[in-house]
Structure 1
Amino acid sequence: MNDATDETPLPLRADCSRCSGLCCTALPFARSTGNAAFAENKPAGRPCRHLRDDSRCGIHDRLRESGWSGCTVFDCLGAGQQTVQVTFGGRDWHQQPRAERERMFTAFAVLRQVHELVYFAAAALAMRRAAPVHPELERIRAALTALAGADADTVLAADPGALRAELGPLLARASELQRGPDAGPDRRNADLIGRDLRKAALRGADLRGAYLIAADLTGADLRGADLLGADLRDTRLADADLTGALYLTPPQLAAASGGAGTRLPAGLPRPAHWPR
């Protein structure tokens, strides 16, 4: 996480001890292979068979080797504990009637998006060159934060798509200002799946929405690159320099393959499964 995310009053770091296994219950799993894999199918609303009665994962210490690497990639950015502790006043879905459980699961889905948008707004507010759009960014962040702290009915009535549409152009403008007139190549939404990009000069590049699945970016210069929405599943980032990369998230890093020589933006944690 960058420093700005730590300044927001909304928690943007998952705290499973204050949740009740919402991600293990509310979300569907689809059996798959690769770095975002699940060992079996599970419909939305049904608890994972590994979820214990105390809302802890029974195989948390061996998820990846058990075929559940997708769980190590997922990060609700704090939406889980916000749903349980704030939106529903500390109530555990286990003790609720079915209709209330469904409300909790739906609210969690909304708040996942709200927390992600706050994360991106905070990241843009940390960009010094983006000062011209900071007032609008701060306004939207305040509105999103207020929504996250609202009652369940207000959360359930929210339209995350409309909120994303309002914030999106500001994030793009902040990126342009931060990367400046000497920005790197424009590779927005580019299909770079499996490409050999070792030691590529991508400093300040626009890689928003780029498909970098299984691409080899070993030793690449990604300083200040915009990675909003880039697909980094199985992307090789050994010895790559991502210092100052824009809008990079923990799930993106967790889906990629890095190492001790990978340089990350300040405040972003190194995935636990990466080689040290």
Structure 2
Amino acid sequence: MKRRERSNQAKNKKGGVKASSQKIKAKLLKSYYGNPAKDMKLIAITGTTGKTVVAHYVHEILRASGEQVAVLASDQPFKMGMLHKFLSDAWKAGANYVIVTVPAEGLRDNIFYGLPVNVAAMTNFVTAGLHDMEPEEYLDNEKTLFDMKPEIVVLNSDDINYDTFAEFKGTKETISFGQSGAEVKILNSKLYPKGTEATLSIKSEVISVATFVAGETAVSYMACATAIASGLGISTDNIIDGIANYEL
């Protein structure tokens, strides 16, 4: 047997043992905390950039809709135990929506195992933003989230790697956002020193959104949040108000 083949087999075996351990841990945590996720809608947001901004846009949109929302937004990986404790605390606080951002490194540990993911959104896939990870490994990690059979999947059709992750599908709906061929289409935008405006088309309805977040990337992030909210059935008025309410 070649050395590389032995190395791959050892790696696969180690990965299989770790995956099995994570699944056992997930079951124990669900039992310990009483599985609060079953009473809330879980929105998971991943991607190399913009996760936190999109999460806060969605948080403000849901608040504008009168919903009780909890957010766990971090650019750093966190443990499965922290996620389950957050879900428990959110449920005790009366939340009916929870928003979680997670980098690919966190998905590698399959932290969402056994949880009912309502929405899975991917902001983008910027290879220049990867650290100590090959693009193939990054996508394998992302796949662990989208394999959880989320009801709604939101993807960036403008991303140069869109064809690679376009295989991710929601069980009820798949929504893309971007400048062309998207369900949430970016028609135009204006950039200002202290903010950004954009005109979006959503299922034949045209709306204008504005944010205090400056920069061209804010246009994509507003479109992503709008796509998530659209999938949840949130009115366009609340989308507009929620995005406008967010301040860095």
Q: TM-score, normalised by structure 1?
A: 0.24
Name the structure where strand makes up a greater proportion of residues. Answer: 2
Name the structure where helix makes up a greater proportion of residues. Answer: 2
Q: Which has the higher contact order (CA 8 A, sep 6+)?
A: 2
